[in-house]
Amino acid sequence: MYFDDILKQIGEFGLYQKKLYFVLCLQPVASGLLQLLSIFTLASPDHRCAIPGYDNDTFSPQDENHRELINSSIPESSKCFLQNTTIDIYGNISIVQYKCNSWVYDTTTFTSTLVTEFDLVCDNSVKKSNAVMLLFLGLLVGYGVMGNVADFIGRKPLMVVSNYLCCICSYLTVWSPNYIFLLAMRFCMGLGMAGQSLAIYIIGVELVGPSKRRFTGILSNFYWCFGMILMSVLGYFIRDWRYLRLAVSVYTTVLLTFVCLIPESPRWLLTRGYNAKAHALIQKAAEVNKVELDDETLKKLCVSDKVTKLRFWKIFTSKTLCVRTLVCYTCWFAASITYFGIILNLELLVGNIYLNLFVASILEVVCYLLVFLLLDRLGRKNLMCICMLMGVLSLTAAVFVIMYTPENLKWLMTVCALVGQFGVTCVFAILWLYTGELFPTELRNIGTGTSSAMARVASLAAPYFGLISSFLTGPMKETAPFILYAGVCLVALILAFCLLPDTSKKRLPETILDTIHFTEEKSIESFCSSSESGSGSGKELLPVKKNDNLII
């Protein structure tokens, strides 16, 4: 008897699992807070050069004399240069512009940010993007390493250590003495966040029965949305970056107390030979779920079926699978760079930054509801292509709004950007399930893992998209990011529409040969030539019945 059989007896998502799952889902709230905190703590307020010798200089003119001094010392619309005006004995006027090394900032929206703390503007503006990128680099490295750590030391120890790492680094960031220390803390925080997410995801999957995993997987996304909403509210009321960081750190501290309530995964205990501990946890779950489970049943329990795991390069031994993999990579990359490119640069959109994040959060909730309701009705491929098309059209519309609408209608650009983000968020939600269904069982973890890694790679580039505008002039200054987002999404849309099959109501492929003959559609097979056509058995995969379990 295998562990999934036990779960069916004691309840695949009974009261015991629901209580634990509620505690587990407190972590996605923390992830939403920690990842999106950069929107406010690394925001770039409007600024200009500080006037030399004017000790109490402020961004807004204090009086008419101060206004005249600003006009004479600062070139019009310049944020990075001072000017020195001289008149020679003949009355000739010469104006010399030179870079400044200190600035004053507008405190209307933000009292203080890391940008104002370390002067991450003008020639130093790339340092702001570096700080954002280091967090995502920590996540990328963490996801690559922490999975093996979880298998070695256990899910709960990894979760505890990762939570402590996040909590400590979050507090230390508040008292960052210099920029390098800030970068180090953000990288370590990314490592901790990756460990948190992996440990809790694994525990959640291993405690829930097969038929309930898709539901719980989508449900966890709503907690991330709650973190987004909470971040917009906290940011609105706390305008100083140190106090805002402290508020989020307090939440991570509270989260530590709940971590102790989460038990180790019984599956992991069984694989390590801790049968007595595993049996005790299973019995406790049965008692809470009000199900009787005798000792004889537990004695028959053994480690789950072992799936043959192949090396990563096996993906590229089949032309069909190779093409599908590359298309999946493209879709993940496009969705990620567009999502994070917009959400991390909300300050560049027209309107109130706090309201923009709040609206984006609500739209994300709607997104997950729609995906949950329409995924089986419209099919994975159809729904994903519709959502990607929505993103492309909205982002393209944003370009035309910027170029051709008057100033009083520029708010439409924000609407288009948020609708575009809504579309790619739906794509993200679909890809988590769709990607796993495209790969055979023996390569499913590798395929899904490397595909999501492409999203992490894209997130590294996203912070730098906000810098593009600073190197351009004219209409391209504002439209370039949207053109790039729309272009990448359009490429992904065309590839997915032409080269991917729909997996709805199909039995999942078990082997590479099953993948080749996964559907009657010939788009990929004709694209890849007929070299594989004779290598398979030619069997068709049967539709999934309602009581069949998805392997995720």
pLDDT at 407: 84
Contact present, 420 and 339 (Cβ < 8 Å): no
pLDDT at 88: 65
The CA–CA distances, whole Å, from 153 to 142, 265, 268, 438 equal: 15, 12, 10, 31
Do 386 and 476 belong together in one domain? Answer: yes
Domain boundary residue among 58, 76, 106?
Answer: 106
Do 155 and 176 belong together in one domain? Answer: yes
**Angle in degrees, 0-180, between the axes of helices 241-259 and 26-36, rounded to the nearest 10:** 160
Do 463 and 498 belong together in one domain? Answer: yes
For residue 506, what are its two tokens?
Answer: 């199909």
Q: Looking at the domain assignment, is residue 5 inside a domain? A: yes
- Lowest-confidence range among 162-176, 268-282, 345-359, 390-404? 268-282
Return d(Cα 546, Cα 552) in angstroms, integer.
Answer: 16
Do 290 and 368 belong together in one domain? Answer: no
pLDDT at 439: 80
pLDDT at 546: 35
pLDDT at residue 157 above 80? Answer: yes
pLDDT at 550: 29
Task: Give the DSSP H/E element, type plus range, for residue 207.
Answer: helix 179-207
pLDDT at 533: 42
Report which DSSP code applies to 228.
H
Q: Looking at the domain assignment, is residue 328 inside a domain? A: yes
Do 436 and 353 belong together in one domain? Answer: yes
Give 190-199 pLDDT, tens digit per residue.
999 988 888 8
Task: Give the DSSP H/E element, type plus range, for residue 276.
Answer: helix 275-288
210-222: average pLDDT: 78
Residues facing residue 48 across a β-bridge: 104
Helix, strand, coil content of the chain in percent (nearest 5):
70, 5, 25
- Quote the mean pLDDT of the chain: 84
Do 10 and 85 belong together in one domain? Answer: no
Q: Looking at the domain assignment, is residue 25 inside a domain? A: yes
Do 37 and 172 belong together in one domain? Answer: yes
Question: Can you tell me which residue has the tokens 């996540």?
Answer: 139
pLDDT at 547: 36
The CA–CA distances, whole Å, from 528 to 217, 364, 492 equal: 34, 37, 18
Give 2-36 pLDDT, tens digit per residue.
677 788 888 888 898 888 888 888 888 998 999 99
Contact present, 532 and 514 (Cβ < 8 Å): no
> pTM of the prediction?
0.84
Domain boundary residue among 303, 325, 341?
Answer: 303
Q: Looking at the domain assignment, is residue 227 inside a domain? A: no
Give 50-72 pLDDT, tens digit per residue.
988 888 888 888 888 888 888 88
pLDDT at 518: 61
Give 534-552 pLDDT, tens digit per residue.
444 333 333 333 333 322 2
The CA–CA distances, whole Å, from 471 to 102, 464, 489 equal: 21, 12, 23
Give 289-299 pLDDT, tens digit per residue.
888 877 777 77
pLDDT at 29: 92
Task: Identify the burial level of 327 via C-beta atoms within 10 angstroms of its C-beta, where 0-12 means exposed, 13-18 middle and 19 or more buried.
Answer: buried
374-390: average pLDDT: 92
Residues facing residue 84 across a β-bridge: 96
pLDDT at 23: 86
Domain boundary residue among 106, 127, 146?
Answer: 106
Identify the band that residue 398 occupies on the pLDDT scale cut at 50, 70 and 90: very high
Residue of 267, 130, 123 whose CA lies nearest to 208:
267
Share of the chain above pLDDT 70, in %: 89
pLDDT at 108: 92
pLDDT at 497: 93
Residue of 404, 13, 31 whose CA lies nearest to 214:
13
Q: What are phi and psi of 240, to 5 degrees?
A: -95, 130
- Lowest-confidence range among 303-307, 433-437, 446-450, 521-525? 521-525
pLDDT at 1: 56
pLDDT at residue 333 above 60? Answer: yes
Residue of 521, 281, 485, 253 whose CA lies nearest to 381:
521
pLDDT at 309: 55
- State how many domains the chain has: 3
243-255: average pLDDT: 93
Contact present, 486 and 392 (Cβ < 8 Å): yes
List the domain range (segments joined by +) for residue 58.
47-106
State which of 141-150, 378-387, 514-523 shows the largest mean pLDDT.
378-387
DSSP codes of every residue in 123-162? GGHHHHHHHHHHHHHHHHHHHHHHHHHHHHH-HHHHHHHH
93-99 vs 81-87, strand pairing mode: antiparallel
pLDDT at 2: 67
Return d(Cα 194, Cα 459) in angstroms, integer.
Answer: 14
Give 346-358 pLDDT, tens digit per residue.
888 888 999 999 9
Q: Looking at the domain assignment, is residue 417 inside a domain? A: yes
Do 128 and 115 belong together in one domain? Answer: yes
383-405: average pLDDT: 94
Three-class SS of residue 48? strand
Return d(Cα 465, Cα 317) in angstroms, integer.
Answer: 35
Do 404 and 288 belong together in one domain? Answer: no
For residue 6, what are its two tokens?
Answer: 């036990």
CATH of the domain at 433: 1.20.1250.20
Return d(Cα 367, Cα 264) in angstroms, integer.
Answer: 33
Q: Looking at the domain assignment, is residue 218 inside a domain? A: no
Do 400 and 427 belong together in one domain? Answer: yes
Q: Looking at the domain assignment, is residue 232 inside a domain? A: no
pLDDT at 165: 94
Do 346 and 252 belong together in one domain? Answer: no
Q: Looking at the domain assignment, is residue 468 inside a domain? A: yes
N-terminal to C-terminal alpha carbon distance within the chain: 20
Do 468 and 372 belong together in one domain? Answer: yes
